[in-house]
Structure formats: structure tokens, C-alpha cells
Copies of this chain bind each other. A is one copy, B any other.
């Protein structure tokens, strides 16, 4: 009986590289780091209060996910989106995410929907208050709380990858134009969830995603943000 299933969660020792990875990921996802900004290992060891090895591993992982970019000369930076890359992301997101939403529909329980409604409320507050940081986190939470219910880990990981590439640019857009005309088709999505209409939910998500991408696209042409 010693090594039992460890129901729920035991006080697991969380490895340092895991923590470092998450922290760095959030920094990228929610806009602490701007596109094009260089990232140094030793700088991160200071800001993340971690050793050099964990930071290196976090960077490797994020590089593999496309959230960071090796510049050839052993420098690392946050990538800047080009128009054609934005097109790729658009295609992939518009394919994967509605699918995830559709798959999630039948697994949604009442409390899931309640949680999503609450998150949507926070997003509205953030938009009203012009709180970019909070909007970004809320938006992320809304989408991925939904997607997780699809129980499709591979598609989920692809979606995360796409958000990692998309996040920094979205942050820049928010910073530039404020939270006024940010996408929020979440009400429509919540209606679809309540009626269990997978197709409608997928359509709502598709609209939300397309809107966000257009928002970013408008900011790109000058010189890749």
C-alpha cells in the first residue's frame, strides 16, 4: 500500500525546471516579453531566481514550441510574426480550436459552464476597465478551460503551441489600441454550450478566433508589428 495512486495530488515535489518553464511561458503568453525582444539565459536566472540548467531546459522546451527562436548566433529572442506566418496560424487555429470546442460539447457539465460564465464575466470587466493583462489571462482561461474538456491532449498541445506564437503579438495590439474592440464572442459560445449545440459552439469559437486574428493582422503590415 505504499505507492498508492496518490489520489488527487500529493505534495509532489515540483522540479525547478518545471516551475521555470511555466513562469517563462506565462511571461511570453501574457506579454511580459515583446516580440523581437532578446532573451538571455543569465538574465532569466536572475529574474526567475533559478539556476542555469533549469532555465536552459525551459528555453529549449519553449523553443521547440515555437515560443522562442534561436537566432543562429546562439542568441534567443521572442519571434516576430510575419504576415505569412499569421496566415498559417490562422489556418491551424481555425481548424483545431473549433474541433476542440465541438469535441468538448458533450463532456461539459453544468459547473463547467458556470465556471466559463464566470471567466467571461471577468473578461468583460477587464475589457471595460482596460486591463490588458487581465483580459489576456481571462481569454486564455476561457478558451483552454473549454478545450480541456475535449479530452484530446494532442490537439490541445497544438492549440497551446499556436497561442504561444500568437500571444506576444496580441499583447502588442492590446497595448497599442486598448481593449476596446477585442474579440468577445463568448456570450454566443456560452449559449451554445447551454443548449449543447456543438456546431453552434464551434461556429462561435471560429468567429471569436477569426476576429482576434484580424485584429492582429491589421497591425502587422507596417513592418511585422
Contact = CB atoms under 8 A, between A and B. Distances in A.
Number of copies: 2
Interface in A136-184: 151-155, 157-158, 161-162, 165
A91 B97 CA distance: 12
A65 interface: yes
Given A84-B151, A152-B84, A66 B157 contact: yes
Interface in A83-115: 84-85, 88-89, 91-92, 95-96, 99
Contacts of A155: 88, 91-92
Contacts of A185: none
Nearest to A151: B84
Main DSSP-derived SS at the A contact region = helix
Contacts of A15: 74
A197 interface: no
Contact of A56 (B57, B72, B88, B154): B57
A12 B71 CA distance: 13
Nearest to A10: B72
Given A56-B57, A60-B61, A91-B99, 8 more contacts: A53-B53, A53-B56, A61-B63, A61-B64, A88-B152, A89-B154, A91-B155, A92-B154
16 contacts: A17-B60, A56-B57, A57-B57, A60-B61, A61-B63, A62-B64, A64-B64, A64-B65, A66-B157, A85-B153, A85-B154, A88-B154, A91-B155, A92-B96, A92-B155, A95-B95
